[in-house]
């Protein structure tokens, strides 16, 4: 999937400058909607993921999958904007015990699934005005990150001995506050439409509860590479 995302971003950046030559500055629009599609890779830098890596295959990075976002941008000046954003991500991966198998020698497997949705408020700064052919920008913000974490499949009950394999589903849900940093390029193709590609890094974590009570903190941080369309109105 990484290659697909990179290809989309490169295609947008290669095609957009030619289209942007047709752009003519008109009356500036103060509002914009942005639709984003990208790929999110969790960092997995927390006590829960560290402990799990000792017993199970794979890691948080294997949860990499598509992300989707919808933003509302309010242009305060030709360079400075407020950005209200909503983003959704869901990824899953299969994991198995590193040192244990069933009586037939098969892996004991469960599926790990992580869903993250966020509502954030931030600001972006474009280094050049809306009449430019290519508009690099940076930004930062923060807000509420909600998550659902699930493990479903076969597990080993070590207590009391002897060990016994059982099938189960464990779920934890929660909300926490976090923040993000971003950088990108926007290419206007008309007075009202622009294409963009951006990288975003978010930082958030929460103490696990529900079925994972006592398992430590769950890292929700990660990197998101996306491309999309801006419609100014």
- Contact call for residues 185 and 16 (beta carbons, < 8 A): no
pTM (predicted TM-score): 0.86
- A 10 A CB-CB count for 2 gives 10
The Cα–Cα gap between 57 and 199 comes to 28
Rounded Cα distance between 203 and 215, Å, is 20
Out of 1.10.287.70, 2.40.160.20, 3.40.50.150, 3.40.50.2000, the CATH code matching 2-232 is 2.40.160.20
Tokens 């974590």, residue located: 205
N- to C-terminal Cα separation, the chain: 33
Question: Which of 182, 105, 131 lies closest to 21 in space, CA to CA?
Answer: 131
> Does residue 144 contact residue 174 with C-beta atoms inside 8 Å?
no
Other C-beta atoms within 10 Å of 162: how many? 6
The rounded distance, in Å, linking the Cα atoms of 216 and 138 is 33
**CA separation, residue 171 to residues 23, 148, 150, 205, 209 (Å):** 51, 7, 4, 16, 9
Per-residue pLDDT of the chain (233 residues; tens, 9 = 90+): 545 444 544 554 454 454 444 444 444 568 999 999 999 999 999 999 999 999 999 999 999 999 999 999 999 999 999 999 999 999 999 999 999 999 999 999 999 999 999 999 999 999 999 889 999 999 999 999 999 999 999 999 988 788 899 999 999 999 999 999 999 999 999 989 999 999 999 999 999 999 999 999 999 999 999 999 999 99
């Amino acid at each position: 999937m990484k290659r697909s995302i990179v290809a989309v971003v490169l295609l947008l950046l290669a095609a957009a400058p030619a289209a942007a030559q047709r752009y003519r500055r008109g009356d500036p629009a103060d509002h914009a909607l942005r639709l984003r599609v990208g790929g999110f890779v969790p960092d997995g830098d927390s006590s829960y993921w560290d402990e799990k890596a000792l017993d199970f295959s794979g890691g948080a990075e294997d949860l990499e999958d598509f992300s989707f976002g919808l933003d509302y941008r309010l242009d305060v000046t030709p360079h400075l904007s407020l950005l209200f954003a909503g983003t959704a991500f869901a990824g899953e991966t299969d994991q198995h015990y590193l040192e244990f198998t069933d009586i037939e020698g098969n892996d004991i497997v469960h599926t790990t699934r992580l869903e993250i949705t966020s509502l954030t408020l931030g600001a972006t700064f474009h280094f050049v005005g809306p009449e430019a052919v290519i508009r690099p920008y940076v930004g930062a913000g923060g807000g509420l990150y909600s998550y659902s974490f699930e493990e479903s499949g076969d597990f080993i009950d070590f207590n009391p001995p002897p060990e016994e394999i059982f099938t189960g589903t464990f779920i934890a849900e929660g909300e926490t506050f976090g923040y993000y940093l971003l950088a990108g390029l926007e290419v206007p193709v008309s007075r009202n439409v622009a294409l963009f590609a951006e990288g975003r890094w978010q930082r958030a974590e929460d103490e696990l509860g529900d079925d994972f009570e006592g398992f430590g903190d769950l890292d929700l941080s990660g990197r998101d590479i996306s491309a999309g369309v801006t419609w100014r109105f």
